[in-house]
Structure 1
């Protein structure tokens, strides 16, 4: 569910007209709904009531400070994969002891910074990383709390580029090697290896892969405890999908997911950490764009808009489907025509929707690309020297620009000429 709806003939975010925002902010822009963020967090929180669980939002899904601060004020922890994300989480008000540091390539500098902050735990993904963390912790005279990420070789039945739990993926250590690595970790100084981490992928729409992964996590927990390892916490990852195709795509409800976790792991007396990202923020955001031109190609209609692949990369990178809604409600009753929604970037892969039956949009009309709150603005770039689009947060009838559109001078000013090049007068 989300809080984007038609009111008085115009698509609104809560009580704010997207047409008004387009006039005030300019297009394209991202718009996030506070009510949707809060609802999704609370639905998940209620689902896990009674289980000893902490929800750590996956910052990689959307790292805007206003979004992070909204969730932090609800009690969310944060799952980070870089020092930059850790700094964002802390700046947004997340307590350090509710931050989990994941990622396959943590540098020693990042480890030192995180240890200095006093974070909750590291999810360690390789034997070399384990040794590096031990050495950094020893040099600082502090103990690093650790969960080892185990790759269970479970197929999440999702897109290949967002699958993380199969043997050919770069993440974690092979399941069968886990006991020996825990034995090795026990010998290293300044490490408290107290947990197990598994994360099998993103946009998962079937509980079966979770069931398989949790069964393996349970078996490993019991095996490690029999060998004398004190396994106190389980990080079960994230990955629960969202309905990109509206009512035609219905992922499991958080209540079903929580019930599976309780049935699979509930008797282990272990603290649980969750890493939801997309499930909380995906449907909370839209990308609003304006039609620039309409072009009749030899075999199809091209609707050229002012948003592009550098603003929303998912359709090009993942062949992802996003619903497209006209901002004018009157357009929803029009006969549709087959068309591609494309941007101005000089790439054939620059599209937001391909061969889509949509109203026959005309220049200056507005459309909203739905379910764009996750992996949207956070993956954007300045390719073709296009300015990053602004982000707007709505709260009821109020709104604020929470990341402004930079000027060309600001963007170009990030470059520096070397001393042997003299600028032309």
Structure 2
């Protein structure tokens, strides 16, 4: 692991910002999510510093990791938020207070009336509208509440991003946004609603994109549209460039600061001297490498030549390997160079063949009761988790200033059963 990561070895024991991981597992149990507050804050700072010369707001993509403690920390650092549901709106208001609403953008293709009403009442910065029927509903809800909804249309620039097909969003074949060639007509229609104010244009082409060129291409197309819209009389002030800047899972040489600088340079070159307020929506980049899932070995077994290491975490705790065929580096919590390496599948106890974290992975041979850590798990870990097989979700611990703080306790069965009627 490189020196820029929070998870390192200290005398063969894995630590997070100096805090012993094995001790955390003993104190809080496993499976356990552990996060570095320091790295999350530093990653947000990379964006804020790289764009310091450009009017901008960093709107953290809440879906990546919606922990209230993390949201509160980012709000205190001046970040805004990109939300995709009424529940995420409630989360950011709970974490940051009503004043944070002025830094909230509401994205998503399926907003419902109640969610719109809550966002209008909170007076959020902007709705990123993704279809004409949504525009009509928002206009009617704003009129009924005596409010004015500030909107951007999310345009689809038909730009290809080299990423997993499930997280690519910028092509005409995807469900997201409005075709950029149709946008001027939809803006003209939006301007006819007294309850709508057209304030921005939004674009987002996907997630886990590791080259900066697609971002620049999408922004250039978006800025050409902004020029046309301003000529049509629309007071376009905000350009939402979306998020999606990727990380390198398991790449020890990954330089986050350099990647953000490249990203900023590409967007700023596209912007030129154009007078707009830039909205940025990083998610995974801020939290992905700040987190790890710590799990304990339950059993070892072999089916012929095939070896399995069965751990107490499962696909309901971290579904990325099953859903996206995602690679996560997996390391022993206590390293012993005298112990041989073996190749095994790292699997969980859920009754699905897809319940695995790695296939045929070379790892220090483990014994029952040993701890291993699944790294780079801070994004789309707990936020995508479930209670499948009636499993309680993991606890979460945040490392701040060299101390561990429990930010989410492990669920209980009574809490799982509470909504049910029988």
TM-score w.r.t. length of structure 1:
0.95
Q: 2:182 aligns with which of 177, 186, 199?
A: 177
Q: 2:281 aligns with which of 275, 290, 296?
A: 275
Are residues 308 and 245 of structure 1, via their aligned partners in 2, closer, same or farther at CA, if it must alter by over 3 Å? same
The structural deviation recorded for 1:248 is 6.3
Match of 2:328 in 1: 322
User: Is the CA contact (8 Å cut-off) linking 1:242 and 1:250 kept in structure 2?
Assistant: no
1:52-104 Cα shifts (integer Å, max 9, x gaps): 00001000000010111111111111111111100100111151101111111
Match of 2:16 in 1: 13
The structural deviation recorded for 1:245 is 2.3
Separation (CA, whole Å) in 1 of partners of 2:370 and 2:269: 50
1:375-414 Cα shifts (integer Å, max 9, x gaps): 0001111110111110111113211111111122322333
Separation (CA, whole Å) in 2 of partners of 1:269 and 1:177: 24
Match of 1:204 in 2: 209
Match of 1:75 in 2: 78
Separation (CA, whole Å) in 1 of partners of 2:200 and 2:72: 27
Bigger mean CA deviation after superposition, 272-281 or 240-249: 240-249
**Gap runs ≥5 in structure 1:** 418-425
Separation (CA, whole Å) in 1 of partners of 2:261 and 2:402: 31
Question: 1:120-269 counterparts in 2 under 5 A?
Answer: 120-247=125-252, 253-269=259-275
The structural deviation recorded for 1:30 is 0.3
User: Is the CA contact (8 Å cut-off) linking 2:19 and 2:404 kept in structure 1?
Assistant: yes
Q: Does 1:416 align with 2:413?
A: no
Bigger mean CA deviation after superposition, 366-375 or 258-267: 258-267
SS in 2 for 1:247: coil
Q: Does 1:31 align with 2:34?
A: yes
Separation (CA, whole Å) in 1 of partners of 2:253 and 2:339: 21
**Gap runs ≥5 in structure 2:** none
User: Is the CA contact (8 Å cut-off) linking 1:302 and 1:339 kept in structure 2?
Assistant: yes
Q: How many residue pairs get matched? A: 416
The structural deviation recorded for 1:334 is 4.3
TM-score w.r.t. length of structure 2:
0.96
Separation (CA, whole Å) in 2 of partners of 1:276 and 1:312: 20
Match of 1:374 in 2: 379
User: Is the CA contact (8 Å cut-off) linking 2:50 and 2:261 kept in structure 1?
Assistant: yes
User: Is the CA contact (8 Å cut-off) linking 1:205 and 1:241 kept in structure 2?
Assistant: yes
SS in 2 for 1:37: helix
SS in 1 for 2:298: strand
Q: 1:284 aligns with which of 278, 286, 290?
A: 290
